A = this chain, B = another copy of it.
Amino acid sequence: MQEFIQKLQDLIGIAHVLTDQQAMQPFLREWRGLFAGKAQAVVFPASTQEVSSIVKLCIAYAIPLIPQGGNTGLVGGQISELSNGVVLSLKRMNRVLDVDAQNNTLTVEAGATLHAVRAAAESADRLFPLSLASEGSCTIGGNIATNAGGTAVLAYGSMRASVLGLEVILPNGEILNIMSHLRKDNAGYDLKQLFIGSEGTLGIVTKAVLTLAPRPKAWAAAWCAVASPEAALILLKQMQNNFAQELTTFELMPKIGVEMVARHIPNAKTPLQNDSAWHVFIETSSSRSAAQITLMPELEQAITAAFDKNILQDAVLAHSEAQRVHFWHIRESFSEAQKHEGGSIKHDVSVAVAHIPAFIAEASAAVCALFEGARPVPFGHMGDGNIHFNISQPVISNTSDFLAQREAVNACVHALVRRYHGSIAAEHGVGRLKRALLAQTKYASAYALMQQLKQALDPQNTMNPHAVL
């Protein structure tokens, strides 16, 4: 193996090949500690050509290659668990190459952070709509490989919707150039779709052309209390009817979760005192010129109408930018707050939007029947059917007793997801965490076709083996 490492060093320079266990740790460890990584090297190529050469070398030596962006993934897709594995970090390929306000496109290397891309778009008075809590660390390449979601999917779609073109290193080491700037192109198969969301198992994204949205000129936000997810669903329909695609955020949260945030997170007081069991955070935004004057009064009017119809129990509008930011702060502190409440068991699932109330009710009842006192904290992106079905341990229970039931709780929730024809991996992907689950839950014909694609593109199984499939 010394020969292999030597050749890696020859290819990209000794300074860019880590082999020391200590030095490799930040690239081997998953941030929540769910996966303990192993590898023989972490490499940092600086160019497309270098990535291509590394792939070819790995094929020649039959070495598994694990592409890594910001190492923020939640399902271990970026973690090498093989002691002979090579982690390929795109960190050094982080340039924003071009921002074109005429074409509304941005060209970028895969290792650029989401934050850098959003900032570059903003400096050209445009919006790059993908928004994630990890934007400072996560990379565009990782966002593409995982088809990242986040809070803006309702209005702008997932990452897939923002990709026009890609440069990909195929599992045979060849460079695939499909760096299109076009908005309409039916010249053959749309190859980029293969790589978006395939979690580095079919190739390594090295560059991308992204499409930019107009920058919103106005925002309006409201925090509402509703009696139930059923009421929230009616409110959602009402708001969509009023605001169509300008309803850009509709987040459902249980009161218990908002209280956890208030308890543990600094400066995160609940915006309203109300006994209702559920809260909804609504944001409308628009890049129409006229919206600068009308957006706020229109939201106020819609909220008042919903109140008059008894759809919502109480509501407060953000009357300042600080207050709007405060609403976001509460919503984005959910995961952090739950950590302070002991053990939790999480599920990243989706069902058809109209099934959310029934799903939450059934799943909550089933989980509580399984483990007395368990506290379901289902929250998330109601507008696109994605619920983070998280469960906190009972208040007066032993954490390890609770976590020992993880498998049983997972089985119970995922069985229900299947009954609703939902997804067991709505947003965070499959990675290594849900690999077995994917095999169990997909229709055989669909799973077989995935395997067939993997086999066709990567017959040696070099690219991120043991992820997804």
Contacts and interface: CB of A to CB of B under 8 A. Distances in A.
Contact of A352 (B105, B161, B243, B246): B105
Contacts of A421: 180-182
A456 interface: yes
A183 B350 contact: yes
B214 A352 contact: no
A423 B450 CA distance: 29
Instruction: Give the oligomeric copy count.
Output: 2
Interface string A410-438: 00000000000111111111100010001
Nearest to A284: B288
B425 A186 contact: yes
A2 interface: no
Interface in A57-99: none
A320 interface: no
A133 interface: no
A453 interface: yes
A350 B289 contact: no
A426 B185 contact: yes
Contact of A193 (B193, B290, B446): B193
A442 interface: yes
B353 A103 contact: yes
Interface string A166-194: 00001000111110111111111111011
Given A191-B446, A243-B288, 18 more contacts: A102-B353, A184-B350, A184-B423, A184-B426, A185-B425, A187-B426, A187-B438, A188-B438, A188-B450, A189-B198, A190-B196, A191-B449, A242-B288, A242-B289, A245-B245, A290-B294, A452-B456, A452-B457
Interface of A: 100, 102-105, 146-147, 149, 153, 158, 160-161, 170, 174-178, 180-191, 193-194, 196-198, 202, 214, 237, 240-246, 286-290, 294, 298, 350-354, 381, 384-386, 421-430, 434, 438, 441-443, 445-447, 449-450, 452-453, 455-457, 468-469
5 contacts: A100-B354, A180-B421, A191-B449, A242-B288, A456-B456
